[in-house]
Structure 1
Amino acid sequence: MSTPLPATPADPDGLAEIADAVVRLGETLRTVTADTLVEAVIRQAVETLPRARWASITTLRHGTFRTLAATGERALQADALQYRVGSGPCVDAALEDSVHRSGDLAHDVRWPESGAQVAREVGMGSALAYRLTLVADPDLVAALNLYSDVPDAFDAQTEWAGTMLATHAAWAVSTALAQERAENLELALRSNREIGTAIGVLMAQHKLTRQQAHELLRLASQDSNRKMADVATEVVDTGELSLPRRPGRPAPEARGD
């Protein structure tokens, strides 16, 4: 568990230590790979902020919430409960573009249902959630969530320090999701190439039109409960297509010479 940041007469709020921690986080983020950026941010948040025990990242796209990353199962459970109820610090921070801090989730009048359930079922006493400003994806909203199992875990100083960490978290989430989109695009392009090549193979072998060859791939995919791209790869690799026949269903007709 994190310990309170030290205060000195010259730095009564311990802000220098917080600033140093943020600098260290920035240095850490330059050394990790894109697919571990988000995990690095939330891990650092737990290590840096006093009495933070768990952290997570919530994303919201087209009305659907999901947890992108979490430091433990209890954070996942707390997030999921709030998604199910439709309210709570992490949900409202995302929806309202705001910061929400609660020192007594069990009795917080803002979230009488979700707060009480998170306290009772997951054992959370406090929460602190920030809306994250993402770039290059207007359809996506995100939030950084911090949890503790003790009441009044987060004070104004912690909230201020968390704001700096939330800035890094927004950058990390944007970077990770940009990589995910790039990977999905590359996968889609690769799949389309495989399907196109397989269609060409079937057209040449069986004298089919492009539409008939595509229909054969679709039927094989449906009958074998496999993705069309996987079936196409098999055709490209082996030159053959296995197509189980369903009773009463005629096969696509081959085009004569």
Structure 2
Amino acid sequence: MALEESTWTPDYLGELAGLFARLGQELLSDHGLDATLGLVCQRAVDLVPGAEHAAISRGRHGRFETVGSTSKVPLQVDQIQYDLHSGPCVDAAIKEEIYRTGSLVTDRRWPEFGRRANAEHGICSMLSVRLFLEDDDLVAALNLYSVHPDAFDSGDQTVAVLLATHASLAIAGARLHEQVQHLERALQSNRGIGVAVGVLMNRYKITQQEAFDLLRLASQNSHRKLVDVARGVSETGILELPPLPARAGVQPPG
């Protein structure tokens, strides 16, 4: 439940902006994705008095995993949800909502999960906030856990939203970095293939397409990646090809 606009006083907005900035300075440093997500969860426990444990659930195509957990408890509680395909963590990620429970034991939304989470691990309250990840099939949620009923209020929810925002930014940044690395490797591979094509064109006086087709044939025959075959041609000027049948009357270039 969002705060009413009437509560947006200058003091409130200033404190909110300040907290967001402080978290950003700490969390968006170059920690690496896993370390940053772990730090997000640790700060959730530090900043939210009722939170005894915290973790992030993330998944694709209905398959979830728990990361950044501050203890073993979220791993165990979340696994119940993953097995049942139901619970505040899963629903927050999939349905793009925020879930704040009173007592899981009496919560009718997840009766089986609530009963087991409390009976097996003593968890009574949860706060789950979806991580907003743009243009991605990955879904995720930040989750807080408590052994006490009604452990979380609207202020705790605001802090959780701030932390979820930073976690979303960290994931987006890590994925962008990964995409840049993949692009750089692809460009490097393409340059290597282009050099090999040029070598073959010059040596055997063949067309660009013919040179590329020879590289692909050699790759298939040797069970090696095209880029590895191209690297060999660039370094040695030699392309190893399978011999043609004798009746063809033609031998591969050597």
TM-score by length of 1: 0.64
Q: Count how many residue pairs are aligned between Structure 1 and Structure 2.
A: 229
CA distance in 2, matches of 1:236, 1:74: 55
Match of 2:142 in 1: 144
Partner of 1:48: 47
**How has the CA–CA distance of structure 1 residues 25 and 215 changed in structure 2, closer, same or farther, with 3 Å as cutoff?**
same
Q: Where do 5+ consecutive residues of structure 1 fail to align? A: 1-14, 223-227, 244-250
> Paired residue for 1:178, among 166, 176, 179?
176
Is 2:61 aligned against 1:59?
Answer: no
| TM superposition shift of 1:46 | 1.8
C-alpha distance in 1 between matches for 2:148 and 2:176: 36
Structure 2 SS opposite 1:134: coil
- SS of 2:111's equivalent in the other structure is coil
Runs of 5+ in structure 2 lacking a partner? 1-11, 245-250
CA 1:72 to 1:187, structure 2 compared with 1: closer, same or farther past 3 Å? farther
Q: Percent identity?
A: 38
Q: Which residue of 2 is the match for residue 26 of structure 1?
A: 24
| 1:84 equivalenced with 2:86 (yes/no) | no
Moved more, 207-216 or 38-47: 207-216
Please state how far the C-alpha of 1:178 moved relative to its aligned partner.
Answer: 2.2
Greater CA deviation, 195-204 or 213-222? 195-204
The superposition leaves residues 4-25 of structure 1 with CA deviations (integer Å, 9 ceiling, x where unpaired) of: xxxxxxxxxxx89x85654531
Deviation at 1:130, TM superposition (A): 0.8
Separation in structure 2 between the aligned mates of residue 216 and residue 68 of structure 1, nearest angstrom: 44
> Which stretch of the first structure deviates more once superposed, 196-205 or 173-182?
196-205
Name the stretch that deviates more: 82-91 or 63-72: 63-72
Partner residue of 2:252? 255
Q: Map of 1:85-124 to 2, 5 A cutoff?
A: 85-124=84-123
User: Is residue 164 of structure 2 the alignment partner of residue 166 of structure 1?
Assistant: yes
Residues of 2 paired with 1:73 and 1:229: CA distance? 45
Query: TM (normalized to structure 2)?
Result: 0.65
What is the distance in 2 between the residues matched to 1:221 and 1:81? 44
C-alpha distance in 2 between matches for 1:124 and 1:221: 54
* Shift in CA distance, 203/152, structure 1 to aligned 2, threshold 3 Å: farther
| Conserved? CA contact 1:105–1:116, under 8 Å | yes
Give the letter for the 1:213 counterpart.
L
Instruction: Give 1:94 deviation, angstroms.
Output: 1.6
DSSP 3-state at the match of 1:105 = coil
Q: What SS does structure 2 have at the residue aligned with 1:70?
A: coil
Distance 1:171-1:115 versus aligned 2 partners, 3 A rule: same
- CA–CA distance in 1 between the matches of 2:229 and 2:122? 50
- Please name the residue that 1:248 is paired with: none
Q: Equivalents in 1 of 2:211, 2:152: separation in Å?
A: 67
Q: Return the alpha-carbon distance in structure 1 between the equivalents of residues 203 and 75 of structure 2.
A: 52
The separation in 2 between residues aligned to 1:221 and 1:78, in whole angstroms, is 46
SS in 2 for 1:113: helix
CA RMSD of aligned residues (A): 4.2
